[in-house]
A and B are shown apart, each in its own frame.
Chain A
Amino acid sequence: METTPQFFRHGPSLLVRLVFFIQLSLALMVVDTHFKYLYEARQTIAVALYPIQNLAHLPTAISNLANDFFITQDLADENARFKQQHLIDSGKLQQLSALTIENEHLRNLLEATQKNKSKTILAEIRSIPRDPFNLTVILDKGFQNGAQNGQVIVDHLGVIGQITHAYPWSSEATLITDKDHSIPVQILRNGLRSVASGTGKYKTLELNYMANNVDIQEGDQIVTSGIGGVYPSGLPVALVSKIKRDISSAFAYIICTTIAGVDRNKQVLILSPQLPPENLMDSANIYLEDKESEKNDAH
């Protein structure tokens, strides 16, 4: 140990240190926004902080447990309600399976590509960052549990967002309302296609490039169109809440409110991205085989 008290010890002067740290953080910010080199560093820190994130979740987990333990009366009510809901849902499901088969037949007749079934993982929202600038949530499933970048997050009501950073045991999902996020949609009533972009505001989306005389009404439901292949088609996204048709501008100003909400400790589903259809894979394989045989012929 040093003999001089800490009081008298001096490193480089304060101002020098300040300038150094300012330059370092500015450099980090530039690198992080313009190049994607810092992903590993982020991942390492995220793994190191995983225990703390878990610990932060503990009080709510305990209170949930306590609630489960004490509220038995509600449980009976809830059970009855769920039974009813289950009955209704299973009725609908029976219809759905019939419809799915019918749809498959029709698609076969039309020689159209089959709709893909996606795999799902159940996850929970761990925390919502306090930063108002980036609309993200942290989920409790990472790539060790099968979560990947680009997967879609939905809840029982509709689309929430998309995984943007998958860490080993947790992942970061960007909400559809994020300013840099767009989602291909269509209006359920008439099948009109558009793109809904986030506005950066809570639960608010904007429909871009819709002509002034477009057939759209307040209260219309918009669902994913499935174009682009990231979002499966037919997932509810939002309800149209405000339409402003301004003659002076080329496009109508259409604001929608998202259906799915993001609350704490909510169960969500992670949908795996749509795999390329099997026949596409087959055709790719055939193409590769052809190429190989050509090569062999050349030899």
Chain B
Amino acid sequence: MTTTAAGPTAGPAAAPDTAVVSFEDVSKSYGDVRAVEGLTLSLRPGETVALLGPNGAGKSSTLDLLLGLRHPDSGSVRLFGTSPREAVVAGRIGAMLQSGGLMEDVTVAELVGLVVSLHPRPYPVGEVLARAGVTQIADRMVNKLSGGQEQRVRFALATAGANDLIVLDEPTTGMDVTARQAFWATMREQADAGRTVLFATHYLEEADAIADRVLVLHKGRLLADGTAAEIKARAGARRVSFELADAADAAPLRELPLLTSLEITGGRVRIQSRDADETVRAVYALGLRPRNLEVTALGLEQAFVAITEAEEARTA
């Protein structure tokens, strides 16, 4: 156990050249299943990062490795230049796990009080309860809480002290829209205070709205790493769609260099393109007479689907 690297009592303690999280060629298999494969990534202090991926992409495994709950088969995982366990013992990480259960037969206040007392750099219990919005239910037994309330208690546990990194696995599962908005407002305060926040989610609008950086994980590998805007651009940022009297005329469009996908259903042609202006120009240059032309921006969701589908096609 090392506590010498505890650093200051709050805020980002990592030196600028020390990555908050650093994965070097990390692999992890369970039997025949390769959960994480050759993952290399690095998080910088103060970033808010979304970890995106379909079910089974390796999100939870990645977080488990990051937190030291599991050990990699090969490669190395470092947090603040130390092992994950050392970082946990130094009180630098707060985590809210989907698989993290709560102690039963105790009240919310007792449970939060316990985790506060175990934290090397704790906040006052009242403050932790208030921030997580659980002051009203502080005297309730943990096993009598609703799903959303449980999530808020988990959040309280993750913010019991002055952590430098907060890790959240699907944090808003079970919350209604209002609770979700309140949750992200609180989370943003944490990020504004200089903390690094890493969250896994399947709500893409959350990643789009909150993250400075998005990591797309697929079959245990890092498929894309950039801002939400960059990810969208990579997937083919725009959708161009129009109708043709004879849709077969659209076939030559497949040769266009900027297209990421083209699909024809009925008389309607749908194109995803990296440069919509250029695509529309090409349509007219081919002598086509499109009707009801629409150019729309792709959401992160569609971008995400496009990227993972392209990967499926490549590896198939």
* A associates with B: no
